[in-house]
Structure formats: structure tokens, C-alpha cells
Amino acid sequence: MRRTALLAAALLLTLTACANEASSSHSAGSGPAVDGPKVKIMVGGLDKVIYLPAMLTQRLGHFAEAGVNVELLSEPAGVNATTALLAGDVQGAVGFYDHTIDLQAKGKEVQSVVQFSQAPGEVEVVSAKQAGAIRSGADFKGKKLGVTSIGSSTDFLTKYLAVKNGVAVSEFSPIAVGAGQTFIAAMQQGSIDAGMTTDPTVANILAKQIGTVLYDMRTPEGSRAALGGLYPSSSLYMNTAWVQQNKETVQKLANAFVKTLRWMNTHTPEEIAARMPADYAQGGAEQYAAAIKATLPMFTTDGVMPPEGPKTVLAVLGAFHPDVRGKEGSIDLARTYTTEFVSKVR
């Protein structure tokens, strides 16, 4: 009987482990319960600094103050958040605005309702072993380049930087390596020669001297230099039909997020870091605050789409994306975002 019990316990542990491994997303939980609508939002990596407003809004209690129950879920890449949104598993996604253009080209109507940023917040990092061989996008030919996942915004931007510098997308290998420790391990093991990632991963790579910065798009200036203009990226985007049918709820979400963006603009990186979950600062509190400081310039203070931003994003996608290239004239940028809700925030 004892042996049977032990075998049963072992089997239960095995099944539990398999179930945990099978789940690709996890919930960060909900904020304080309030008498209001419930909304699930999938984030393309809750611990990424570029998506910091999502968790910070919950930690500051702004969702509860706005009267909406929000459950934040996390996926390793923005494209996975988009998949969850289209499947109806969640009502909103926090990811890159460029997915709204990509989806319209595929016949899907999705729009950004709160624009968190005006620059990508992404950094192309070259492995220390390849520092002498990769000095610009022109050197991407024949290289293995890390992206969070195929079809992600890091994949989009990597392809654009290659094409802009005369390298066809067929002349290099995009490798899906995620972010954080999986990205770092891929670089250390030589699985990738360079790759695109965000803070706090960038800060960890530089601190460990694993790689060096090739393109820094964490600021408006960096975005203009690499991409030719402001590139609105992280945002809250939702199915257009759902937005039209749930305007009161969307307004509550806009109220909460804009309040957070304003708060970020009046507080130091150290104060922001102190409000975030402790396990986000894997390299230590000082390094995490420095990572936030380096990325803060990308964020808007009001959630409004930069006027010329959508045109830059369309131009970038049109340079290489098979669903967009040659069809730019059929894309209605006015349908990819709205300022209706952020303009009403007081």
C-alpha cells in the first residue's frame, strides 16, 4: 500500500508538472475587487519595461479608482497577446501598435485606444563575439538574429533594419528566443549572433558584458535615427467592435492608464521601480531603476497617438511585410487607433 501511495504521488507530481509546462501564459492576478465591469488584458511580457504601465496601473490602484476590474495575463511576445485577443480569450491586449496595421491588412479590425509610447523601446544587441563582424544592418547577411517570436514586432523591426541596409529578409535567419533569460542564454551559447530585446534584458546583457548596443530605439531620437520617424509601439489595443459596444468600460480603462502615464512623468525611475513587483528587478534594484530611466523617454504623458507616428509604422511594414507591401494605399490608418477616450480624460 505504501508503494502504491508513493507511485500515485509521483504520478500526480508528474502530471502537475506537465500541466504547468503546457500553460504558456500566467495571470498576474486582479487588483482590489470593485463594483464594475471585468476585463482581461493580455500583455506581451508583463516584466518588460516597455509594457510597464500595465502592471504599474494595477499596483497604483488606478484600475480600482476608475471602477473597472482588470485581470492582467502575460505572454512572452506581443504576437501571442494578439492571438489571445482575436480568439476572444481576452478583451484587450498590451502590445505594439504595428499589429493593428498588420491585422487590417488581413481583414481584422483592431485599434489602439491608449497609446503608451512614441518609440519602440527596443534595442538591437550584438553578441560580444560578433562585435567586430556586425556594425550595422548591412552586416545581418548570413547571421542568426534573435527575436521574441516569429511575427512579433521585434521580428518586424529586425526585418526592416535589414532591408533598409540592403539585406533581403531571406538572407538572414530570425530565431525565436523570447526575452529575459532565454534571450541571454541564446546569446551566451552562440545560438544567435545578435538580437532585438528590451529592458530589463538589455541592462542585464550590458552588465554581464555579453553584448553591445547596435541600434538603441528607447528614445524618440533613437527611433528617428533608425526608423526615420517616431514609431508608436506599446499600447492598449482592442477589437474595434468590442470598443464600440463597451464605450463606458473603455473610458474607464483610458482614465486609469492615462493617470498612470501622468504619474510616471512626475516621478523618478527609483520611485517607479519601488512600485513594481520585486522579482522584476532580477539584476538588483539599482540596475532595474537604471533600465527604467533609459526607457522612460519612449512613453507618452497623455496616451495620445503621435500625429505622424502611424505613417512611419506603415512605411516600415511596407518595406518588407508581404501582407502590407504594395498595399499601403488600401490601409486606412484612421481605423487603427482612436483618441476618443484619452481626449476625455480629466
Which among 33, 32, 38 has a CA at the least distance from the CA of 253?
38
Of all residues in the chain, what percent carry a pLDDT higher than 90?
85
DSSP secondary structure code for residue 204 in this structure: H
In this model, does residue 340 exceed pLDDT 80? yes
In this model, does residue 107 exceed pLDDT 80? yes
- For residues 180 and 185, give the distance between their C-alpha atoms in angstroms, rounded to a whole number: 9
Of all residues in the chain, what percent carry a pLDDT higher than 70?
90
Q: Which amino acid is at 94?
A: V
pLDDT of residue 257: 98
C-alpha cell of residue 243: 470598443
| Residue-by-residue DSSP string for 293-315 | HHHGGGB-SS-PPPTTHHHHHHH
pLDDT of residue 13: 38
- pLDDT grade for 189, boundaries at 50, 70 and 90: very high
pLDDT of residue 149: 92
C-alpha cell of residue 257: 492608464
Domains and CATH numbers, the chain: 28-119+232-344 (3.40.190.10), 122-217 (3.40.190.10)
pLDDT of residue 203: 94
Global pTM exceeds 0.85 = yes
Nearest-5° Cα angle at 236, 287 to 152: 70
In this model, does residue 94 exceed pLDDT 60? yes
pLDDT tens digits, residue range 27-75? 666 666 788 999 999 999 999 999 999 999 999 999 999 999 999 999 8
The H-or-E segment that residue 260 falls in is: helix 247-265
- pLDDT grade for 12, boundaries at 50, 70 and 90: very low
Contact between 86 and 107 under an 8 Å Cβ cutoff? The reply is no
Q: In angstroms, what CA-CA distances link 275 with 21, 60, 158, 291?
A: 29, 7, 32, 15
